[in-house]
Amino acid sequence: MEQKRARAAEEPARLMCDDALTEVFRRLPARALAACRLVCKSWMTVLTDPHFIHEHLSRGRQKLLLFASDRVSDRSLAMVLADDNKSMYQLSRPAASRSVFVHNSCNGLLCLGDSTGAVEVLNPTTGESLMLPTPTYTAGSSQFSSCNWHCLGFCPKTREHKVVHFYPGTHIDSFKVRCEIYTLGAGVWRQVGSFRGAPIDRGVHVNGAVYYLTKFRYIASSRINCLNLESEKIDAMMLPPRKSYGGHCSLTELEGRVCLLVVDGVLEGPPRTMDILMLNSDEQSWTPRYHFSLPWLIPSCYFTPKHTLFHDGKIWVQLLARNLYCFDPRSNSEELTIAWPELDFPFSTHTFIESIVPLRKDYFIKHIQ
C-alpha cells in the first residue's frame, strides 16, 4: 500500500520532469537531438513522436544546401551554407553510385536519384536513409528525363511524405505520362492514373501539392499541372498572359508560394532579365514580384538559371554548375551579385531545414497505427 502511495506521489514530479525535458528538446538543434535519441528508450520515445517531430520542424531555420557528387573519392557530399551563425559545415556519406543527384528537398529529407533510375530518401542530419523499391519505369534515365522525374512532398493533413514519379505511358505520345506514388512507410508504389503533360523541368513542392511545367518551354500554350498529395488528383492551369515567352520559364518556391520564373531576351541582344511572378491564393491569377538583370558571364552568351531559391530575405540564383549569385530586393540595384566564389566542383542548390524526421520502419508502423 505504501509503495502505491509513493508511486502516486512521484507521478506528478515525473510528469513535470518529462514536460521540462520535452521543452529542453524543443530548443535543441536537430543534430543534437539525433544523438539524444540513442541515450535511452524514454528519450527515443519522445524524439520519435510524430507530433514532437513536426513541432520541432516548424521551429527550424531554413538553410542553403549545396549538393555535389565527388567522383574522385566516390562519396556524395552535402554542404550547408549560410546557417544561423553564417557558418559552413559539411555532411558526407559513402555513395553506391558515382552519378547521384538530388531531385528535391522536403522537411530535411533529400530525394536522391542516379542514372539507373534508383530512388533513395536520405536525412543528412541523422544519417538515416531509405532505398525505395524500383519504380515501374527506369530505362534510359537521366535527371530531367520524363522517365526519371521524381519529387518528394509532404501532405500536412495526413502527415505523410510521398514521392511522386512520372514516366511515359504505353502509347507513343510524348505529351501523356503515367503517375505512381510511394508513401514512405507503405513499401510499394501505387498507380494513380495517367495525365496529359510530360514534365519539362524540375518540379516544386509547395503546401501539400506538387507543381510542374508541361509541354515545351518555348510555347506559350504550355500549362502547369498541380498534383494534390492528399486527394492525389491533378489539376491544370495555363501560364499567365504575357507578350512573349521567348526565353525560358520554370517554377520555384519563394516565400512559401509557387512562382513562375521568366527569362526574357536573346543571346545577341540587350542584357537578359528575369521576372518572378507569384501565384495568388485564388490559384488563378499571378502578381509580378521581382525583376532583375542576369549577369553577362561570357561575351555574347547568357545562361539560363539552373536553380532559383528564396533564403534569408534574398533570392539566390545558380548559373552554370559552379556559380552562385544573389539578389537583394531591399537594395536599389536590379542586378545579381556574386554570392560565393566559383567552386572547384559542380553542385546543385536547394533550400534545406535540419530535422529528425526518421526513416526507420518501426516509426512508420507506429505512425500508421
The cell numbers describing 12, all together, are 506528478
Please list, in sequence order, all residues whose beta carbon lies within 8 angstroms of the beta carbon of residue 109, skipping any fewer than 6 positions away: 121, 122, 123, 152, 161, 355, 357, 359
Question: Among all chains, which residue has been given the C-alpha cell 534515365?
Answer: 141
Residue 13's pLDDT is what? 41
Is the pTM higher than 0.85? The answer reads no
Evaluate whether 162 touches 151 at the Cβ level (below 8 Å). Answer: no
d(CA 175, CA 76): 34
Q: What is the pLDDT along the chain (369 residues), one digit of tens a residue?
A: 555 554 544 444 454 467 788 888 888 888 888 888 888 888 888 888 888 888 898 888 787 777 776 555 555 555 655 554 555 556 555 555 556 788 889 999 999 887 778 888 988 888 888 999 988 776 545 544 545 688 999 999 988 999 999 887 666 555 678 889 999 988 899 999 888 777 877 789 999 999 988 865 445 557 888 999 999 998 888 888 776 665 577 888 888 899 988 887 665 555 578 889 999 988 888 999 998 888 776 544 556 677 888 877 888 888 777 788 888 888 888 888 888 777 777 778 888 888 999 887 655 544 443
Q: How far apart are the first and last CA of the chain?
A: 36
Give the Cα separation of 79 and 274 in Å (integer): 27
Q: How far is CA 352 from the centre of its chain?
A: 7
Measured CA to CA, the distance from residue 133 to residue 206 in angstroms comes to: 25
Cβ atoms within 10 Å of 271's Cβ, excluding its own: 11
Q: How many CB atoms lie within 10 A of CB 198?
A: 24
As a dihedral over the C-alpha atoms of residue 264, residue 227, residue 349, residue 26, rounded to 10 degrees, the angle is 140
Partners of 3 in the β-ladder: none
Residues 6 or more apart whose CB falls under 8 angstroms from that of 369 comprise none
Residue 65 CA: distances (Å) to CA of 138, 153, 170, 225:
27, 18, 37, 27
What pLDDT score does 320 carry? 75
Q: Sheet containing 337-340: give its strands across.
A: 307-311, 314-319, 323-327, 337-340
